[in-house]
Structure formats: structure tokens, C-alpha cells
Amino acid sequence: MINLMYAGNTKVFDGMLTSILSILKHNNDELNIYILTVDLHDFNANYLPITDEQIVFLDKLVKEKNKNSVVPL
């Protein structure tokens, strides 16, 4: 089992996805991927958190490679 943590907002989601796809390409182990995000749009309208829908998408993606992998909400 490999534990990973990503931190960021919606602006880094594409990079996060690219990184996870690369890990999936080169690894068959079970992954536990944790997403740390925060809503700071009060300070800047661009600082929106990664959405639950995006996390669910990532969870489905990792489960395609290993059914025991997880990206929890």
C-alpha cells in the first residue's frame, strides 16, 4: 500500500490528475490518496477548493487500476 497526499485548489487539479495518471501507469500497488484542499475564495475569487465531484472522479480512476485503491472524500 502506498499513501499519498496532494494539497491544492481547483487550479492544481489538472497537475494532480497528470501526476496520479503517471503513478497509475508505473505502479500496480494499492493507493490511498488523500486530498487536502481549502476554500479561500473570500480572499481571492480564484481560490476555490477541489470539488467532491473531482475527488469522486479520482476515486473511480484509481479503482480501475486496483479495486482496493481509494481517494476518500
Tell me the sheet residues that pair with 63: none
* The three cell numbers locating residue 55: 475527488
Residue 72 lies in a domain: no
Q: Who's near 58: CB < 8 A, 6+ residues apart? A: 16, 17, 20, 33, 35, 71
In which residue ranges of the chain is pLDDT below 50?
none
Residue 22 lies in a domain: yes
% of the chain surpassing 90 pLDDT = 95
Residue 9 lies in a domain: yes
Instruction: Report the pLDDT value the prediction gives residue 3, as an integer from 0 to 100.
Output: 98
Residue 70 lies in a domain: no
Residue 28 lies in a domain: yes
Instruction: Report the pLDDT value the prediction gives residue 64, as an integer from 0 to 100.
Output: 96
Residue with cell 481517494: 71
Q: Which domain holds residue 24?
A: 2-65
Residue 51 lies in a domain: yes
- Domain total for the chain? 1
Residue 71 lies in a domain: no
d(CA 10, CA 15): 10
